[in-house]
Structure 1
Amino acid sequence: MQEKVSEEEMVTPGEVLGKGSEVKAGKGAYLSHHNNTVYASLTGRRSLSAASPESPDQRPTVEVIGHKAHGSVPEPGCVVIARVTKVSARMASADIMCVSSKSVREKFSGIIRQQDVRATEIDKVDMHLSFRPGDIVKALVLSLGDARAYYLSTAQNELGVVSAESMAGGTMVPISWTEMQCPLTGQIEQRKVAKVGA
């Protein structure tokens, strides 16, 4: 029996690799439970491995063999560092710069939705008081969302803005979990601040 059935097909994050009832998600792939579909989580070659004859689960395993040169890729459950690029009433967009402590070489986009900013009083979250363009945030990857952007969450105490520039151009200092202060002007600005030393 052939152990490895390789398909030289290039896939990118978010591409459908198969139904969860027909294939198992291996490396570089993940199963989305809401529609029982397996998606690619990185760019690379799609590869299918047959199940071993003894295995009770006879579904083949689909995995994506990534290019080593691509650097790190965000995956659900990873903590990333991202720079906020745009803030709207319902969400903030960000460019992911690091996954765990490794920098990324490709451009990955992330979205922090209003409901994922913090764990409490979700309905009272004001995006413009939580983030500003240029802020550096620490966030958890929830899933690969729509339009090739990852859904990010800052709902844990240790997640949120880790570095921000004030209106005056100074690097602000966190003074509480909702406020940062400009050392140049003393002005206080609202943010969803990451708890330091958590």
Structure 2
Amino acid sequence: MKEEGEREVVTPGEVLGKASDVRAGRGAYLAPHNNLVYASLTGFRRALSPSPDSPDQRPTVEITDHKAHGAVPEPGSIVIARVTKVMAKMASADIMCVGPKSVREKFSGIIRQQDVRATEIDKVDMHLSFRPGDIVKAIVLSLGDARAYYLSTAKNELGVVSAESTAGATMVPISWTEMQCPLTAQIEHRKVAKIGG
């Protein structure tokens, strides 16, 4: 059994190959309805060559080191994410840390309008809550669609923890809806995380 190829990180549900080409090893499973082999956990993909005298000459794919590669968001985890895009009904973000641990692979998150804050949900304006580049503390609600996690900032201690003003300075929170640029004293709206207390 020899190891081949680069260490490629895969996540659950990723297709590893056709059953006619590969066999499912540890951390992988065969879906009988379409004869595809899928990853069942996050980790490194590894292909093991069969021994020369084996009647089945398909390589075995397995997933290894799924604990060592970094943190993985789960429902209920507190995450730190960087906002990448703000739309009318939601904001998308890249998850950078789960709790105190940084992630080593890319996880996307979506903060929907109804998950920004706990009260006056219908009055939430996404563009007054977040801007691209903001660092947000949020809780993972669930794995949403298109491999993005649904995130919520609806508690007082969740929301924007760090933001850069248009002048390029790190802004200071002055209320739960506003942050101020220390250089220009300009005030910008955000859904601010309550620090401490």
Q: Which residue of 2 aligns with 1:143?
A: 142
Larger radius of gyration: 2
Change (3 A) 1:115 1:41: farther
In 2, distance between residues paired with 1:41 and 1:197?
A: 39
In 2, distance between residues paired with 1:13 and 1:154?
A: 26
Q: Which residue of 2 aligns with 1:111?
A: 110
Contact 1:14 1:144 in 2 (8 A): no
In 2, distance between residues paired with 1:153 and 1:78?
A: 11
Q: SS in structure 1 opposite 2:68?
A: helix
Q: Which residue of 2 aligns with 1:164?
A: 163
Q: Which amino acid counterpart does residue 191 of structure 1 have in structure 2? A: R
Change (3 A) 1:167 1:75: same
Alignment of 1:29-68 (within 5 A): 42-44=41-43, 67-68=66-67
In 1, distance between residues paired with 2:149 and 2:100?
A: 18
Q: Which amino acid counterpart does residue 195 of structure 1 have in structure 2? A: K
How many aligned positions are there?
148
Q: Which residue of 1 aligns with 2:82?
A: 83
Change (3 A) 1:41 1:158: farther
In 2, distance between residues paired with 1:41 and 1:195?
A: 38
Is residue 183 from structure 1 mapped to residue 182 from structure 2 by the alignment?
A: yes
In 2, distance between residues paired with 1:14 and 1:115?
A: 28
Extract unaligned runs of 5+ from structure 2.
1-8, 15-38, 45-62
Change (3 A) 1:11 1:186: closer
In 2, distance between residues paired with 1:94 and 1:114?
A: 14
Over the residues paired in the alignment, what is the CA RMSD in angstroms?
A: 2.3
Give the superposition deviation at 1:197: 0.3
Give the superposition deviation at 1:157: 0.2
- Report the TM-score when normalising by structure 2: 0.70
Q: SS in structure 2 opposite 1:165?
A: coil
Contact 1:42 1:73 in 2 (8 A): no
Q: SS in structure 2 opposite 1:112?
A: strand
Alignment of 1:8-23 (within 5 A): 12-13=11-12
Q: SS in structure 2 opposite 1:115?
A: helix
Contact 2:43 2:67 in 1 (8 A): no
Contact 1:165 1:172 in 2 (8 A): yes
Q: Which residue of 2 aligns with 1:102?
A: 101
- Report the TM-score when normalising by structure 1: 0.69
Give the superposition deviation at 1:11: 7.2
Is residue 154 from structure 1 mapped to residue 159 from structure 2 by the alignment?
A: no
Change (3 A) 1:68 1:83: same
Percent of aligned pairs sharing the same letter: 86
Q: SS in structure 2 opposite 1:128?
A: helix
Q: List 4+ stretches of structure 1 deviating above 6 A.
A: none
